Structure 1
Amino acid sequence: MNFLCSYFAICLTLLVTLGYVYVKRKYSYWQRHKIGFIEPKFPFGNLRVIRRTEHLSQRLARFYIERKHDAPMLGIYFMLSPILLITDLELIRHIFIKDFQYFRNRGIFYNEKHDPLSAHLFNVDYEKWRPLRSKLTPTFTSGKMKFMFGTIVAVADEFVACLNRSIQIDSEMEVNEWLGRFTTDVIGTCAFGIECNSLKDPQAKFREMGRKVFDQPKLNTFERMLIMSCKSLAKLLRICTHHKDVTDFFLNIVNETIEYRENNNVQRNDFMSLLIELKNAKNDTDRLTINEIAAQAFVFFLAGFETTSTTLTYCLYELALDKHKHIQDKARQEIVTVLDKHNGNLTYEAINEMTYIDQIINETLRKHPPASNLARMATSNYKLPNSNYTVPEGMMVIIPVYGIHHDPEIYENPEKFDPNRFTPEQIQQRPSCTFLPFGEGPRNCIGLRFGMLQARIGLVKLLQNFEFSTCTRTQIPIKYSPKKLVLSPENGVWLKITGVKN
């Protein structure tokens, strides 16, 4: 018995020693390559995934601000994996644009076979992304936006009517939830041709599914770490990133919508019509399967409702602050002036003339970017310009969008909300890759036009009809949820809303 105990103790000591040496070796990667780095802590490295007290973007912004003058890049670790944090604008331009062929993938986990909704345009690797992007691009032309304009305005009018009824009961309300219901109805109509009715019914199925994706993540901590650090094993284990009922709901909705439209010869100028055309394409290479259609409709729904509603939430918060009342008043005056020129009608041409509204939205996206970090994966070895270091194939690089947007050397007094940063003159003076809410280069956000149009219409309709101010429940300064991927307010945003006297 003593012999067995001694043998076990020796084996355990040996395993612990080998493990220690292995971890030390892993954590010496940046030191061995003579790259400046942030000292990691086992087991999460520099990027903790549980019990975080701040949003990941804020931590990376600190790394960026503190070390950006040391070198154009900074070594960090996720668990035992080395990751490169890019701190130089010119190098960012190389990665996004000039040397895009070396960084064509986002490196995000997806499992097309067992989790079909995950295989959408945002996630998939280059070989699948390139033909898919070219097929979907016609949906987001300015001509298509003009066709969808009236539909979005109709939903916005319903939004105004619902808010008017609600403020008669209580003028203080949490605006993030209301805005989520507005954008859900817009996307449901434009993408699926379906009346979601979440403005009238907060428990509507589309809204419930949207909440579930963002507020009730399916993956536990171990699974999240696995899909980030060992994608091949995660696929082997058939890990799915979406709840089964969410997958079933969207697959069923897509099937039913396609069947109804084809059986009744329904033609609409929306996203689903293009996807149906691709399903029935004569050329095999152009054809999309039902699962592929569902995945694209799904990401359009998620990106369209969450990022736009979050942006509008932050926008109303900033305009409601006492120190920004003059900005809200100026925006409302621009709306009145432009609409007077168009006989009081909110037209596509009218909204494109509202330049100050655009500046407000852009400044909101600068200060509170929903996509606060961007990632790319090296698809082949890449020698960094003016450096002896070669980024190996498969390594992740991160661009700290929040950090860049809050860099005082780029945006003076970055915590100040100032729409004048986005006058044409100010934009022209700044280097490229200093404003990245939609990414940059070939893999930028395909829905940029649609997202901006939805935000413009929503903001114009709200300011035209309501005045926003803070109340006792408004959290000042606003705090971000450390748990969510998208930069979201931790406790929502409570504001006082009163009708505007016309």
Structure 2
Amino acid sequence: MAVFASVLLTNLFAIVVALVVITIAFYKWKYVHWKMKGIPYLDPSIPFGNITNPFKENKQLNVEFANWYARLKSMKHRYGGVFMLFNPILLVTDVELVKNILTKDFANFMDHGFYTNERDDPLSVNLLSLEGQKWRNLRVKLTPTFTSGKMKMMFQPVVDCSNIMANAILSYSNNQQPVNIKEVFSCFTTDVIGHCAFGVECNSFTDEEGTFRVRGKLATETTVEENLKNLVIFAFPDLAKMLRLAITKKKVTQFFLKLVEDTVSYREKNNVRRNDFMQLLIDIRNSEENGEAMSIRDLAAQVFIFFIGGFETSSTTATFCLYEISRDLEIQDKLRDEVNEVLDKFGGKLTYDAIHEMKYMEQVVDETLRKYPPLSIMFRICTKDYQIPDSNVVINKGERVAISSLGLHRDPEYFPEPEKFDPERFNPENKSKIHPFSYIPFGEGPRICIGLRFGKMQTKVGLATLLRNFRFTLNPKTNDPLVMDPAHFLLSAKDGVWLDVEKIG
């Protein structure tokens, strides 16, 4: 028996050693990819490639890409290779090549290459991840949602939600309590999206455990383990589908599928129509031929990405903006003066036209988006072989390309003193001098963020409502300078942004 156990252990040890040797050999074979193509690259390490070992130092991925951009740029490279695990990615640092990828040669880089799994992760099959003609067809159908006319129709509900937010802030001021401004703005944007997408009153400020708010947080926050799982999905998408892995959490998927199914059923049975995003999707569904009609799962996927985009990016942008102007009260006072001056012209009423007259507000928001872009990394898959202009380098079909907007926005060549928050970069004179494609907070070209106008509108409405009523200063609970939270896939401040609030007047 002892002999048998000894032989078994020996064999198991040999198998483990063989697997380790094979794995190392596989990684070394993959890691010569850029060298074989004659492309400069940053040296990777087994097993995470260029990603910092999350068990030693868990860094935010957007920040990692910006750091890689800076290293390649410092070496005077127009582009360079990096690795996520063993997957090669070409990181672009040259703005002319960025322009080609996003616009001029878009046909070669149409697809994002995101993981989709219609069977086990139906919400993954959304406008952001769809490819080729399917993406193009849906983009054309959804574009009318964000015209000026639609924005004006949705404007008053946004203002109503901002007034509810102001009342919530007032309680913090009265009690002299610091406020986690990201949580407040998340409640605001949740209420806005609930109303404008579904015609639903979320009441996020009075119902802290409301399903919309809880599911929104669940969808955007991840653990180290989940990030590792997502890296595996990224590296082995076909295997992930075989193993029925999903990026979207099960509770989130169940919530949105049921919400959409119930909403569609109620409206169709009771002949109810609303001026919201859901109604547009229902109209598209009913106008299509049976063979092409959108299913409930298709509708839920589009509603989900609209919710996440509107909920997370706007609340994050507003949070970073208030952080910056709480550190520089001169900017805050100047912005408040403009808000009050414009509102006086409109009889004290916050209107669609009033918001568009706030030019300094636009500058402050644009500068916030420069320092903290919502789309900090843009991925593209090369759909057919592409020779990089003025070089002999060919990006082959199927290879992945990345653009770090955070890297571009923090590049001193395009934005001197990039860590300084300076809205004057975006005054009319200076804005015209910004190098094309060095400022791309929402992407650019045919795949530019479809909801950027809505996102900026609700951000500016929220800021205007608060600034006309309150003065904000940094509370010591806030990390200063900020540290980005690795548990979020978008830029988000670790431990929150805490502000002290003083009622004005």
- The question of 1:55 aligning with 2:60 is answered yes
Change in CA separation of 1:222 and 1:357 when aligned onto 2, cut-off 3 Å: closer
CA distance in 1, matches of 2:288, 2:44: 54
Change in CA separation of 1:375 and 1:276 when aligned onto 2, cut-off 3 Å: same
Matched residue, 1:193: 199
| Identical positions, percent | 42
Matched residue, 1:316: 322
1:301-312 to structure 2, matched below 5 A, reads: 301-312=307-318
Residue 282 of structure 1, CA deviation:
4.4
1:423-458 deviation line (CA, Å, top 9, x unaligned): 122121122111111011111100011001101100
CA distance in 2, matches of 1:14, 1:478: 45
CA distance in 1, matches of 2:406, 2:139: 26
Please give the TM-score of this superposition, normalised by the length of structure 2. Answer: 0.94
Matched residue, 2:44: 40
Match of 2:381 among 377, 380, 394: 377
Gaps of at least 5 residues in structure 2 are: none
On the 8 A contact 2:221/2:487 being kept in 1, the answer is no
On the 8 A contact 1:159/1:182 being kept in 2, the answer is yes
On the 8 A contact 2:82/2:88 being kept in 1, the answer is yes
- Structure 2 counterpart of 1:391, which letter? I
On the 8 A contact 2:224/2:487 being kept in 1, the answer is no
CA distance in 2, matches of 1:435, 1:320: 24
Q: Which moved more, 1:222-231 or 1:187-196?
A: 222-231
- The question of 1:75 aligning with 2:81 is answered yes
Residue 219 of structure 1, CA deviation:
6.7
On the 8 A contact 2:54/2:224 being kept in 1, the answer is no
Residue 73 of structure 1, CA deviation:
0.6
CA distance in 2, matches of 1:376, 1:203: 38
Match of 1:236 among 225, 233, 242: 242
Matched residue, 1:455: 459
Change in CA separation of 1:63 and 1:241 when aligned onto 2, cut-off 3 Å: closer
Q: Which moved more, 1:462-471 or 1:53-62?
A: 53-62
SS across alignment from 2:445: coil
1:10-57 deviation line (CA, Å, top 9, x unaligned): 877666555444332221121122111111100111024733443222
Q: Which moved more, 1:136-145 or 1:369-378?
A: 369-378
Q: Which moved more, 1:184-193 or 1:48-57?
A: 48-57
Residue 168 of structure 1, CA deviation:
1.7
- Structure 2 counterpart of 1:400, which letter? S
Q: Which moved more, 1:432-441 or 1:208-217?
A: 208-217
CA distance in 2, matches of 1:217, 1:192: 29
Matched residue, 1:179: 185
Matched residue, 2:411: 407
- Structure 2 counterpart of 1:193, which letter? G
Change in CA separation of 1:282 and 1:58 when aligned onto 2, cut-off 3 Å: closer
Change in CA separation of 1:260 and 1:14 when aligned onto 2, cut-off 3 Å: closer
1:116-195 to structure 2, matched below 5 A, reads: 116-195=122-201
Change in CA separation of 1:66 and 1:155 when aligned onto 2, cut-off 3 Å: same
1:379-433 deviation line (CA, Å, top 9, x unaligned): 1221111121211211111101111110111001011101111112212112211
CA distance in 2, matches of 1:286, 1:423: 47
- The question of 1:274 aligning with 2:287 is answered no
1:83-98 to structure 2, matched below 5 A, reads: 83-98=89-104
Residue 71 of structure 1, CA deviation:
2.3
On the 8 A contact 1:171/1:498 being kept in 2, the answer is no
On the 8 A contact 1:382/1:391 being kept in 2, the answer is yes
On the 8 A contact 1:139/1:271 being kept in 2, the answer is yes
Change in CA separation of 1:10 and 1:349 when aligned onto 2, cut-off 3 Å: closer
- The question of 1:347 aligning with 2:351 is answered yes
CA distance in 2, matches of 1:241, 1:483: 14
Residue 199 of structure 1, CA deviation:
1.5
Change in CA separation of 1:217 and 1:128 when aligned onto 2, cut-off 3 Å: farther
Q: RMSD of the TM alignment (CA)?
A: 2.1
Change in CA separation of 1:110 and 1:12 when aligned onto 2, cut-off 3 Å: closer
On the 8 A contact 2:61/2:486 being kept in 1, the answer is yes
1:237-252 to structure 2, matched below 5 A, reads: 237-252=243-258
CA distance in 1, matches of 2:163, 2:401: 43
CA distance in 1, matches of 2:293, 2:285: 5
Please give the TM-score of this superposition, normalised by the length of structure 1. Answer: 0.95
Gaps of at least 5 residues in structure 1 are: none
On the 8 A contact 2:52/2:58 being kept in 1, the answer is no
Residue 166 of structure 1, CA deviation:
3.4
Residue correspondences, number: 499
- Structure 2 counterpart of 1:203, which letter? E
1:297-337 deviation line (CA, Å, top 9, x unaligned): 1111111011100110011111111xx11111111111111
- The question of 1:393 aligning with 2:388 is answered no
On the 8 A contact 2:52/2:59 being kept in 1, the answer is no
Residue 8 of structure 1, CA deviation:
8.1
CA distance in 2, matches of 1:257, 1:12: 53
1:255-287 deviation line (CA, Å, top 9, x unaligned): 221222223322222111101101211434763
Change in CA separation of 1:215 and 1:9 when aligned onto 2, cut-off 3 Å: closer
On the 8 A contact 1:44/1:79 being kept in 2, the answer is yes
Residue 167 of structure 1, CA deviation:
2.5
SS across alignment from 1:398: strand
On the 8 A contact 1:135/1:286 being kept in 2, the answer is no
Matched residue, 1:426: 430
Q: Which moved more, 1:448-457 or 1:121-130?
A: 121-130
Change in CA separation of 1:407 and 1:121 when aligned onto 2, cut-off 3 Å: same
Q: Which moved more, 1:440-449 or 1:164-173?
A: 164-173
Matched residue, 1:23: 27
SS across alignment from 2:238: helix
CA distance in 2, matches of 1:483, 1:115: 21
- Structure 2 counterpart of 1:341, which letter? K
- Structure 1 counterpart of 2:164, which letter? E
SS across alignment from 2:468: helix
1:340-398 deviation line (CA, Å, top 9, x unaligned): 11111111111100011111111011111232111111112211111212112111111
SS across alignment from 1:402: helix
CA distance in 2, matches of 1:333, 1:9: 73
- Structure 2 counterpart of 1:61, which letter? A
Residue 65 of structure 1, CA deviation:
2.0
Q: Which moved more, 1:109-118 or 1:489-498?
A: 109-118
On the 8 A contact 1:339/1:346 being kept in 2, the answer is yes
Residue 217 of structure 1, CA deviation:
5.7
Change in CA separation of 1:442 and 1:168 when aligned onto 2, cut-off 3 Å: same
On the 8 A contact 1:182/1:198 being kept in 2, the answer is yes
Q: Which moved more, 1:348-357 or 1:264-273?
A: 264-273
Residue 132 of structure 1, CA deviation:
0.8
- Structure 2 counterpart of 1:47, which letter? I
